[in-house]
Amino acid sequence: MLFAILTPILPFLVLAIALLFLKEWLRSRGGKGAVGEFIVGRMLATLGPGYEVLNDLTFVSDGDSTQIDHVVVSTKGVFLIETKNFSGLLFGRANESHWTQVAGRTRRKFQNPLRQNYKHVRFMADNLQVKESAIVPMVVFLGGVEFPKGRPEGVYSPRELVEAIGSASDARLNNAQTFAIQRRLQEMGATTAAKSAQHLANLDSRLERRT
């Protein structure tokens, strides 16, 4: 009897549960990050011909690892983009190791993304045969954040990010170099389950060393 009553509404119950889980995931840090990376990736795709956009790259070399949200390759350079989907007020300077986010009554510290991106630059230069002078690190914040004490140089909104890349005028690479870099990125940077597991293990290890 109960089964007969539930059968017609079972699909709606499953959908309601799925939507509830989706809502909670979107509110989580991982969900916000994934949404932010998707939005920025879509906006970078509007750059058009002459710009190769690669998203979600993970590199592992000699036990070390790094994950890069977006890379744009063109004759104007290799643009490394770290994406943050935050809300509220942000306080931090370019030379500080950590910044502070204030959202309502919540305060939390997080790693300075400019310094985080500098590690990506060094990794690219050391492992992918790219001159450091040809690499342009950039950080993009979504979520309408504000910097009450001033926004550090190198930090952009999504619209500013695309405009800055598109308006860059100095040629840092030739066509042969951009093709070779794209190929190496595609070969070495493809994210796999094993790479992701290694990267998470490395992050946990670094955290333990700090505590």
CA end-to-end distance (rounded Å), the chain: 58
3 part of a folded domain = no
167 part of a folded domain = yes
- The SS3 call for residue 1 is coil
Alpha-carbon separation of residue 116 from 23, 76, 100, 195, 210 (angstroms): 29, 22, 15, 19, 16
If one counts the domains in the chain, the total is 1
6 part of a folded domain = no
170 part of a folded domain = yes
7 part of a folded domain = no
Tokens of 138: 């950039």
Q: What pLDDT, on a 0 to 100 scale, did the predictor assign at position 52?
A: 94
Mean pLDDT of 20-44: 63
4 part of a folded domain = no
Residues 136-191 have pLDDT tens digits of: 999 999 877 899 999 999 999 988 999 999 998 888 899 999 999 998 888 886 66
81 part of a folded domain = yes
11 part of a folded domain = no
Range of the domain at 66: 16-210
Please state the pTM of the whole predicted model. Answer: 0.76
